Structure 1
Amino acid sequence: MNGIPDTRNRILCLHGGGVTGAIFKAQARSIIKALPEFRFIFADGPYFCDPHAAIIPVYQDWGPFRRWLRWLPEHPATDAESAVEEIKYALETCANSDEGTGPIVGLMGFSQGAKLAASLLYEQEAQMKATGSASTQYQFAVLLAGRCPLVSMSSLTESPGLVSAGDVSEGFDTSKNDRSHILSLPSVHVHGLNDVGLHLHRKLLHEYCDPASTRLVEWDGEHRVPIKQKDVQKIVDAVRDVVETQTTITAQ
């Protein structure tokens, strides 16, 4: 920005499984353009993996590809503590290497990244309830095609309704949901009505989030990030509505 510090509020963005931060930035280009009041920063997941089949036709040369969590049994096993530390390191590296100086006030994730974004928001909420303070200050999350369950990021959030950070995060039995792990911080849920995982996205919305703090955006699409203006505008309106309710987020 011509030597002028960029003090805009920042949104930390988490890509889907088998993708990269750079790919997610390209996928989310319309959302970024429509929300110029924010600086979007894109982290890379800590683990290498094969590319997601859906991105190969366009982004096959954008590797190496990464993931945040295990979603296939063949992904190497790891313990929960190590997985959490790797995730935290990746997020901190992104934040610390970014030239922007504004606070990170929100999260935006797609698919596996949305699952993690909601989990990080829930972990922060649990820290606040337990100790009165938290290691992060996220105000909201934008969850693009985010599916249940949430992921436990510490002993504070261990629950039969959450999956461990070291376990395979797909195929989880959500019947274990005991309704004691409801996310209350604001979340914007973006659902493609033709997405094969829509039923799991709706479970995240209805079984893991407080309806008083959620906004739902539905669009006529599959498992991808919306790019058309009419669809993106719905997301923009929902995000700005959330910001207006958060008195700690100052306009830039």
Structure 2
Amino acid sequence: MASVPKQRIACFHGGGSNGQILEVQCARLQNVLRSEFEFVYFDAPFKRSAGPGILPIFADYGPFRSWLKPDGDETELLYGSGFDTTGADGIDRAWSLMRERRKTARDEWVGVLGFSQGTRIASGLLLDQQHRKELGQSHDFDLKFGVICMGSGAPIKSEAGHVAKSMNASLPDPILIQSPTIHLHGLKDVNLPGGRLQMAQYFEPSSATLYEIDYHHAMPWVQKEIEYLADLIKEAYKSRT
């Protein structure tokens, strides 16, 4: 009997963190969803110092990484890895990472999850997919939803986004992400104002679901909160299948 294709969620960590740390942070959520989804964690390409909240708990989990290219003083450039004309921008790089981690051709990426800085990658992938469809470009991915956790900032821009805008100057700026998304906000998180602005500026309100928890900058660890977030993820997936 043929195996059932894996329903996989690509997970992108925050700045000054890495995939291993995000896996620890998401372990309880992953456990609740283990019968339906496989969480796959990626490491960003650029090394940097530890981000907020990483030390001392994760002191032994280095090296710490960023999705944004730093300058010589370790200042992260706004779109440092966000777009270039060689096809090696941050979003194409993320797609390449996902291709490399396919176990078989039948494995299916159905969603993205981003934490903190990683929300800019997760949202950038959703927006890039949307632009590709608008341009009639074929693509070997069909992401159905996104989980945007404790984030802020604009989606990382891709080449397809620049092409779409250049071909149709009447397109709104920014273009809103239409895919179903879940936005996890911490009421004690210093990123809360940025997260609210991110949700309002870059996501279609009718397809964006807000979930607020009384946390600082962290993934939920209380069981009922984890189960509620898991239910939202399942609902988002089912809404597109």
TM-score of the aligned structures, taking structure 1 as reference length = 0.80
- The residue number in structure 2 matching 1:58 is 57
Give the number of aligned pairs: 227
Picking from 98, 101, 105, the partner of 2:110 is 105
Task: Give the counterpart letter for 1:60 in structure 2.
Answer: A
Counterpart-to-counterpart distance in 2, 1:112 and 1:197:
10
Deviations 1:217-246 (A, max 9, x none): 110101111111122122112111112211
Percentage of identical aligned residues = 28
Q: Describe the shift of the 1:82–1:59 C-alpha distance in structure 2 as closer, same or farther (beyond 3 A).
A: farther
Counterpart-to-counterpart distance in 2, 1:223 and 1:181:
27
Is residue 46–residue 86 contact of structure 1 (8 Å, CA) maintained in 2? no
Task: Give the counterpart letter for 1:133 in structure 2.
Answer: S
Counterpart-to-counterpart distance in 2, 1:70 and 1:129:
29
Picking from 114, 119, 123, the partner of 1:114 is 119
Deviations 1:130-165 (A, max 9, x none): 1153353211110101212222111524799xxxxx
Q: Describe the shift of the 1:44–1:64 C-alpha distance in structure 2 as closer, same or farther (beyond 3 A).
A: same
Counterpart-to-counterpart distance in 1, 2:188 and 2:209:
19
2:80 equivalent to 1:81? no
Residues 218-229 of structure 1 aligned to structure 2 (within 5 Å): 218-229=212-223
2:10 equivalent to 1:12? yes
Partner secondary structure for residue 60 of structure 2: coil
Q: Describe the shift of the 1:82–1:61 C-alpha distance in structure 2 as closer, same or farther (beyond 3 A).
A: farther
Counterpart-to-counterpart distance in 2, 1:76 and 1:143:
21
2:196 equivalent to 1:202? yes
Partner secondary structure for residue 178 of structure 2: coil
- The residue number in structure 2 matching 1:235 is 229
Structure 1: runs of 5+ lacking an equivalent: 161-177, 248-252
Partner secondary structure for residue 53 of structure 2: helix
Task: Give the counterpart letter for 2:56 in structure 1.
Answer: P
- The residue number in structure 2 matching 1:32 is 30
Counterpart-to-counterpart distance in 2, 1:69 and 1:195:
22
Q: Describe the shift of the 1:229–1:193 C-alpha distance in structure 2 as closer, same or farther (beyond 3 A).
A: same
The Cα of 1:8 is off from its aligned counterpart by 2.1
Deviations 1:75-131 (A, max 9, x none): 476573289726434553454245475201100110010121011101110110111
Task: Give the counterpart letter for 2:231 in structure 1.
Answer: D
TM-score of the aligned structures, taking structure 2 as reference length = 0.83
- The residue number in structure 2 matching 1:41 is 40
Is residue 18–residue 43 contact of structure 2 (8 Å, CA) maintained in 1? yes
Task: Give the counterpart letter for 1:61 in structure 2.
Answer: D
Q: Describe the shift of the 1:180–1:112 C-alpha distance in structure 2 as closer, same or farther (beyond 3 A).
A: closer
Is the deviation greater in 204-213 or in 147-156?
Answer: 147-156
Deviations 1:28-79 (A, max 9, x none): 0111011121011001001111111411111111111111014786347657
- The residue number in structure 1 matching 2:96 is 92
Is residue 46–residue 90 contact of structure 1 (8 Å, CA) maintained in 2? no
Is the deviation greater in 83-92 or in 119-128?
Answer: 83-92
Structure 2: runs of 5+ lacking an equivalent: 166-171
Counterpart-to-counterpart distance in 1, 2:76 and 2:121:
19
Partner secondary structure for residue 129 of structure 2: helix
- The residue number in structure 2 matching 1:166 is none
Task: Give the counterpart letter for 2:74 in structure 1.
Answer: E
